[in-house]
Amino acid sequence: MLGPRGYAVRLQDDTMAPTVIEGALLSVDPDREVVNGALVIACPPEGSPTCKRIVLDMGRTFLKSLNPAYPMTEVGAEIVFYGVVVRAMDVQEFITR
């Protein structure tokens, strides 16, 4: 369930394909706790906001694309989390609801 401050964004690239397709609408909850394995909207200091899986491993934090063509990236404490993705819908699913 999406909290009262929840919002939606559209995935602009293929980094999460084939699980989440480019153009999918993502429901994001900024109040949900970021836990290992969650899909998050995050912004590394040298980049722009992105959707990735969070991987926490022995005190280190990584952002991982679901598309194997993109490498996993280690990030530091300066990363900003905008929220946890609670649902992803492709455009066709959204239209038919």
Domains and their CATH numbers in the chain:
7-96 (2.10.109.10)
36-82 pLDDT, tens digit each: 999 999 998 888 899 999 999 999 999 999 999 999 999 988 899 99
Which of 90 and 21 is assigned the larger pLDDT? 21
Q: Does the pTM of the predicted model rise above 0.75? A: yes
Alpha-carbon distance 59 to 23, whole Å? 33
Alpha-carbon distance 6 to 75, whole Å? 25
Alpha-carbon distance 31 to 90, whole Å? 24
Residue 96 pLDDT > 70: no
